[in-house]
């Protein structure tokens, strides 16, 4: 099994970023307890977009989170009306380079 990094982006409607961040912040601790979760970080960009940078022990763990996590339906229900569109999700395979402590998530 090799680690999987996920970059998930949501774009709130104008003026709704803080509201969306509050909703998303409520579930981070729950996700940290899911099997295989290495990192699950919430990040705000200068343009108001919100990005989860996640690292899972394996693709299976990432898939289980996406398909079976109890937080996913809650997030969809609560944030969908506040977003410009559906989340954008990219699955990344780490390519370590340079210093092992700095060259990969």
Return the pLDDT at 36: 97
pLDDT at 101: 82
Q: φ, ψ for residue 54 (rounded to 5)?
A: -125, 150
- The stretch 2-18 carries a mean pLDDT of 95
- Work out the average pLDDT over 20-27: 95
Q: What is the pLDDT of residues 41-78, one digit of tens each?
A: 999 999 999 999 999 999 999 999 999 999 999 999 99
Domains of the chain by start residue, with CATH: 4-92 (3.30.70.100)
Residue 1 pLDDT class (50, 70, 90 cuts): low
Which of 10-14, 72-76, 93-97 shows the lowest per-residue confidence on average (mean pLDDT)? 93-97
Tokens 């409607």 label which residue?
A: 13
State pTM to two decimals.
Answer: 0.90
Mean pLDDT computed over 16-31: 96
């Amino acid at each position: 099994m090799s680690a999987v990094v996920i970059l998930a982006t949501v774009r709130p409607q104008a003026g709704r970023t803080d509201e969306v961040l509050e909703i998303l912040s409520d579930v981070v601790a729950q996700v940290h307890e899911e099997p295989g979760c290495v990192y699950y970080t919430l990040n705000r960009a200068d343009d108001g977009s919100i990005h989860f940078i996640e690292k899972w022990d394996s693709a299976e763990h990432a898939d289980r989170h996406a398909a079976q996590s109890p937080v996913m339906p809650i997030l969809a229900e609560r944030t969908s009306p506040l977003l410009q569109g559906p989340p954008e999700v990219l699955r990344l395979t780490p390519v370590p380079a340079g210093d092992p402590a700095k060259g990969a998530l």
